[in-house]
């Protein structure tokens, strides 16, 4: 059955390829390892240190599952080895010239009944592993995976690999954040700094941009990696972040965990950016929310009062009182997964014309966009 396959950094549709136990053993030996095996258990010696590699082929789950979702099937006979600290749980992916290893963190598997149990990986993960050499993420179910290109396996085992600089930037940004945001405090901070978007009603999103700009100013070593774009012209791509070393656009989002979809930007704008730069990153701060109507409208009254509005309850039903950041995620939209986006119709303007269609990423499909996550599950 045809599913998504990785070839030279592209995604194509084709049948899965499976390696025999003998072929897997030869691959490990070609890396310079001393190898003996018993079926899918490989006993490997690297620089005089012994390891156990539990390895299964990565294959498509089959109909009716989405064609970007793959897995390894876990063996009941692995239970003892999974408790060994020098044991690695691997999937191996091969398709023509592509050879990747996927390390599944054992934490969520070693005490599980392994009968009919699987560990999952997605096309986006394999694609980023091919691109980065070593790619790591935590999926939406809290499972940690590492995708390792064949030529980087020894480095991975010895922990001599480097985190992607763009991802490191947002790891540090997330770590710098106070995770509880109160509307009045955030407004006051932006007002005192004379921030240009200090009075926006959706304060959480603009406060995240305010904090990120401050973070870049206070950490100038990251300015060569990412810049916050001001004063965009009408003809320019309307996204706020530009990654200078890797040359692509991104945008910072705040998103309520209770929502079933992440709303994106103007669809035509996204298509323009993808056509020119090949990918887009959404940096998403996921949060729980307390609405102001449930806290006596105190943020609403503050917001209207400070702008000298006569109606102190304007925007009262939509105003957020406070939020608590649960995690940060990086979602990549590229020419391969764009087909999994949905349209978000905004309705009609006051002049009767239709508003431009935006994109959205449905929560059920998010794993095929997710390339990084840090924080709580929420």
Q: What is the mean pLDDT of the chain?
A: 92
149 & 211 share domain = no
The 3-state secondary structure of the chain, one letter per residue = CEEEEEECCEEEEEECCCCCHHHHHHHHHHCCCEEEEECCEEEEEECCEEEEEEEEECEECCCCCCCCEEEEECCHHHCCHHHCCCEEEEEEEEECCEEEEEEECHHHCCCCCCCCCEEEEEHHHHHHHHHHCEEEEECCCCCEEEEEEHHHHHHHHCCCCCCCHHHHHHHHHHHHCCCEEEHHHHHHHHHHCCCCCCCCCCHHHHHHHHHHHHHHHHCHHHCCCEEECCCCCCCCCCCCEEECCCCEEEEEEEEECCCCEEEEEEHHHHHHHHHHHCEEEEEEEEEEEEEHHHHCCHHHHHHHHHCCCCCCCCCCCCCEEEEEEEEEEEEEEECCCHHHCEEECCCECCCCCECCCEEEEEHHHHHHCEEEEEECCC
> Which pLDDT value is given to residue 175?
97
51 & 69 share domain = yes
194 & 255 share domain = yes
Structure token pair of residue 255: 């998103």
> Which pLDDT value is given to residue 24?
96
130 & 185 share domain = no
258 & 222 share domain = yes
Q: Which of these three, 131, 157, 183, is where a domain ends?
A: 157
Number of domains in the chain: 2
174 & 138 share domain = no
152 & 169 share domain = no
174 & 147 share domain = no
246 & 308 share domain = yes
Sequence-separated (6 or more) residues with CB below 8 Å from residue 286: 255, 256, 257, 325, 326, 327, 328, 329, 375, 378
- What is the CATH classification number for the domain harbouring 101? 3.40.1350
368 & 248 share domain = yes
Domain that residue 129 falls in: 2-157
The pTM (predicted TM-score) of the whole model is: 0.86
Query: Could you read off the pLDDT of 191-200 as tens digits, one per residue?
Result: 999 999 999 9
Q: Which of these three, 157, 176, 210, is where a domain ends?
A: 157
* Local confidence band at 163 (pLDDT 50, 70, 90 cut-offs): confident
150 & 298 share domain = no
Q: Taking residues 211-238, what's their average pLDDT?
A: 87
181 & 228 share domain = yes
Query: Could you read off the pLDDT of 89-109 as tens digits, one per residue?
Result: 999 999 999 999 999 988 877
Question: Does the structure show a pLDDT above 60 at 166?
Answer: yes
Q: Which of these three, 135, 157, 179, is where a domain ends?
A: 157
């Amino acid at each position: 059955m045809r599913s998504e396959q990785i070839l030279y950094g592209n995604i194509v549709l084709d049948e899965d390829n499976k390696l025999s136990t003998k072929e897997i053993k030869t691959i490990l030996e070609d890396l310079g390892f001393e190898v003996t095996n018993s079926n899918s258990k490989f006993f490997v010696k690297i620089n005089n240190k012994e390891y156990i590699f539990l390895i299964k082929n990565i294959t498509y789950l089959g109909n009716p599952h989405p064609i970007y979702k793959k897995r390894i099937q876990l063996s009941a006979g692995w239970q003892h080895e999974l408790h060994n600290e020098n044991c690695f749980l691997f999937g191996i992916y091969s398709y023509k010239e592509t050879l990747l290893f996927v390390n599944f963190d054992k934490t969520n598997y070693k005490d599980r009944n392994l009968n009919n149990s699987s560990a999952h990986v997605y096309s986006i993960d394999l694609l980023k592993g091919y691109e980065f050499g070593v790619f790591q993420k935590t999926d939406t179910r809290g499972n940690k995976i590492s995708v390792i290109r064949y030529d980087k396996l020894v480095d991975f085992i010895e922990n001599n690999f480097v985190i992607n600089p763009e991802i490191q930037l947002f790891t540090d940004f997330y770590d710098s954040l106070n995770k509880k945001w109160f509307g009045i405090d955030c407004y006051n901070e932006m007002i005192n700094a004379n921030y240009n978007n200090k009075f926006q009603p959706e304060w959480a999103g603009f406060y995240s941009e305010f904090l990120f700009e401050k973070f870049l100013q206070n950490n100038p070593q990251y300015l060569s990696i990412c810049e916050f774009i001001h004063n965009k012209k009408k003809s320019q791509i309307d996204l706020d972040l530009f990654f200078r070393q890797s040359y692509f656009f991104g945008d910072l989002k705040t998103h309520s965990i209770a929502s079933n979809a992440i709303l994106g930007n103007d669809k035509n704008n996204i298509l323009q950016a993808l056509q020119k730069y090949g990918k887009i990153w959404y940096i998403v701060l996921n949060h729980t929310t307390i609405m102001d109507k449930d806290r006596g409208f105190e943020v609403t009254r503050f917001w209207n009062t400070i702008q000298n509005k006569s109606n102190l309850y304007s925007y009262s039903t939509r105003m957020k009182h406070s939020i608590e950041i649960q995690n940060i995620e990086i979602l990549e939209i590229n020419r391969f997964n764009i087909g999994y986006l949905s349209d978000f119709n905004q309705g009609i303007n006051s002049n009767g014309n239709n508003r431009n269609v935006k994109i959205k990423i449905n929560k059920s499909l998010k794993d095929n966009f997710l390339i990084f996550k840090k924080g709580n599950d929420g």
